[in-house]
Amino acid sequence: MARQLRAEQTRATIVGAAADLFDRYGYESTSLSEIVAHAGVTKGSLYFHFAAKEDLAHAILEMQSCTFRRLAKDLDGRGYSSLEGLMRLTFAMSRVYEEGPVLRAGMRLATEGMVQPLLPHPFTEWREVATARLLNAVRQSDVHPDIDVGSVADALVSSVVGICVVGSALEPAGRPSRRLAEMWYIRVRGMVPVPRRARYLTLATQLRKTGTA
């Protein structure tokens, strides 16, 4: 049992080191030797868990997907409307993106396209979730019935990814919540019926202040 725990800790250390380096320098510019040195492990330990650098990238992408699914499931269990749950999910993802290198590395791997995910591409998964919630929001009369849900979902995912990536490169920590709120102000005014609009504009302001879901 102790040996298994040590193995799991070593694996987590290696993944964390790889994520940190992928986040800072990119997949192509990071070598396995640099990951070994950064993790403080032997090459044998790395190869025990991962046969190649690509396997490390796949592990990070899988962790990113698991984090997204966990956040979405948690919000689904809180009784929010579909549109509110979607808004809160974007802020939750932004917060996790800022807090640690794994999601940032996963985002960089997904955007650079150097590694083909074994699972569906993260952005495909995010778009499907956004589409499902927007369709529910239409049924709940929180979104105009004549909007092109697929196009809005595509634009939403692109906006959130752009805010995270550009924000981390050019702006101080904590600024993405402001950018997300600004994005939602525009979306809400364009797709939410007037009688329900104030509720979601207020929510965007609240999430901007707290930066949490």
Mean pLDDT of 56-71: 90
The model's pLDDT over 30-49, given as tens digits with 9 standing for 90+, comes to 999 999 999 999 999 999 99
Q: What is the pLDDT of residues 134-171, one digit of tens each?
A: 999 999 999 999 999 999 999 999 999 888 877 666 66
Please give the span between the terminal C-alpha atoms of the chain, in angstroms, as a whole number. 37
**Whole-number pLDDT of residue 137:** 97
Q: What is the pTM of this model?
A: 0.86
Segment 91-109 mean pLDDT: 87
For residue 29 the two structure tokens come to 């510019």
The pLDDT value recorded for residue 142 is 97
